[in-house]
Chains A and B, each alone.
Chain A
Amino acid sequence: MPESEAENDHGLVLRSQRGEAHAFGLLVQRHMQRAYFTALALTGSPEDARDLSQEAFVRAYRAIAKFDAAAGAFFTWYYRILRNLCLNLRRDRSRRARPFAEIGESVMEQVAAATEEDPAVLAERNELQDALWRALASLKPAACEVIVLKDFQGMSYKEIAEALHCPVGTVMSRLFEARRRLRELMENYL
């Protein structure tokens, strides 16, 4: 394994803090997919996801000197920057009052079609995915966010708590409420 791949985030952060743009580049390459897909889940638009995830990396680089690498993981710190950009975008969008159908469509276009061979199973699965995305798009941002972090990003409760600056118990209650709402919206499909 090349040295750059073996080096952990902590080492790369320290090198970035010394002004090594190359080290930060390695951090970006390591986390870019996760960052993009998180932004995509929160915004529903691939263009916005690419733009905001890159902008968040730019802001992270500018603020990297303030980041205490010993206190937490790079991605959870980065995620706080990214989420604020995504929340700002959602807030601006809600002010512009886009029709719901438009939001739903743009989100659904980003869901990968299931690859099951049986057409009946395939159709059912795609319908389920569409329903899930419609439901997720209609959740409040905070509810959507915990589901994205837990189920799509696979973050632990501790990591989510760190990213959202709240106790683990709060993460669990938010997840319960978010899933309860999601289940209500998905009632006909589950």
Chain B
Amino acid sequence: MMHLPESERERFQLLLMAAVDGELDAQTRPQFEHFVQNYPECQAEWLKYAKLKEVTQAMQFKNPPPEVWENYWRSVYNRLERGFGWILLSLGAVILLTYGGYQAIVALLADTEVELVMKIAILAVIAGAALLLVSVLREKLFTARTDKYQKEIER
């Protein structure tokens, strides 16, 4: 009985996959047939993988209720719309907060009735909050840049 040479094993495995998936062409079909006809282990492998393919191909998923398909695009559209809404809201909020913050600081510095210690404390709170915000944003941006899947999502 002939055994499949080790050097041919990888070649046979690729041809086997192509045969199982019906992707053999005129050039590779005779090569595969040669393996199957000359090596019993190749024939056995072929039968096993063909059976597995039969089983996986026969598998069917349960269909979701029809309303899932009926509302599918509407849901996608709603998400898109909400996404634009969030962008506008965030942009507006950033502008308002920046402008409001600036005006508040100017008014605070100009107010002679507020003690110096209080002014320093309020400014420290504002500066600390701004630093924390920038730090979190930078971390988020850094994570997005180094996330191994992000590149694919952006592509």
Question: CB within 8 Å of B: which residues of A?
Answer: 21, 25, 28-29, 32-33, 36-37, 40-41, 46, 50, 54-55, 57-59, 61-63, 66, 77, 80-81, 83-85, 87-88, 109-112, 125, 128-129, 132-133, 147, 150-152, 156-157, 169, 172-173, 175-176, 179, 182-183, 186, 189-190
Contact B72 A32 (CB under 8 A): yes
Question: CB within 8 Å of A: which residues of B?
Answer: 10, 13-14, 16-18, 20-21, 23, 48-49, 51-53, 55-64, 68-69, 72-73, 75-77, 79-80, 83, 149-150, 152-155
Contact B56 A147 (CB under 8 A): yes
* Distance to closest chain A CB from B21 (angstroms): 6
Contact B53 A151 (CB under 8 A): yes
Docked pose: A37 CA to B63 CA in angstroms:
9
Residues in B whose Cβ lies below 8 Å from that of A182: 52, 56
Q: Which residue of A lies closest to B12 (CB)?
A: A176
Chain B interface secondary structure, helix, strand, loop or mixed? helix
Contact A50 B153 (CB under 8 A): no
* Distance to closest chain A CB from B145 (angstroms): 15
Contact B51 A190 (CB under 8 A): yes
Docked pose: A21 CA to B149 CA in angstroms:
26
Residues in A whose Cβ lies below 8 Å from that of B52: 179, 182-183, 186, 190
Using known A-B contacts A58-B83, A190-B52, determine if residue A176 contacts B69 with beta carbons closer than 8 Å: no
* Distance to closest chain B CB from A92 (angstroms): 12
* Distance to closest chain A CB from B86 (angstroms): 12
Using known A-B contacts A172-B18, A176-B13, determine if residue A57 contacts B76 with beta carbons closer than 8 Å: yes
